[in-house]
Amino acid sequence: MKKYPNPKDQHSLPVEAKKEKKANEPVSFFETVFKIARTIPRGRVTSYGAIADASGLKLTGRMVGWAMNAAGSAKPAVPAHRVVNSKGELSGRSHFATPTLMQELLEQEGIVVKEDKIENFKAVFWDPGQPSKPLKKAGKKKA
């Protein structure tokens, strides 16, 4: 019987196996998701579905969430706290070291969170499939 690798073990391959990877070898969806997540600008957030769409792979938001759950051991670090659900809710907060850590990390970046939901979600949302646009600062409009 053929034995298939467990996808949960993909991020913990032995060092020798990682070095043997060839340039033309396909990249795992974990690596693709992590690469996209690492590009989320500080003070911005994106959704699991937006990462899935931007990946170019046939991924679902749920699969991106599964990858984000494994992001804690990824090197270099993945800012998983910047990935939320499509409503702006901190649906992944239970996978952080403490129940409030995700919110604390977002607030350190200037994102307002109330009742486990990003207050100005549309304003701070970053679409990885679109060119980066600067974050609009709240303030007085010029006449």
Q: Tell me: pLDDT of 95 over 80.
A: yes
Mean pLDDT of 87-92: 96
Q: Tell me: pLDDT of 4 over 80.
A: no
Average pLDDT over the chain reads 83
Question: What is the Cα–Cα distance from 125 to 83, expressed in whole angstroms?
Answer: 10
End-to-end C-alpha distance for the chain, whole angstroms: 73
Asked whether the CA dihedral 134, 140, 141, 143 is positive or negative, the reply is: negative
| Residue 13 pLDDT | 44
pLDDT, one tens digit per residue, over 55-81 is 988 889 999 999 999 998 899 999 999
| Residue 141 pLDDT | 47
Could you tell me the two tokens for 4?
A: 């298939």
pLDDT, one tens digit per residue, over 23-61 is 666 578 899 999 999 999 999 999 999 999 999 888 899
Residues 83, 45 contacting (CB under 8 angstroms): yes
Instruction: Supply the pTM of this predicted model.
Output: 0.74
| Residue 25 pLDDT | 62
Provide the H-helix boundaries in the chain.
15-19, 29-37, 48-54, 61-69, 101-108, 121-124
Asked whether the CA dihedral 99, 102, 108, 111 is positive or negative, the reply is: negative
Q: Is 39 helix (H, G, I), strand (E, B) or coil?
A: coil
More confident residue, 15 or 28: 28
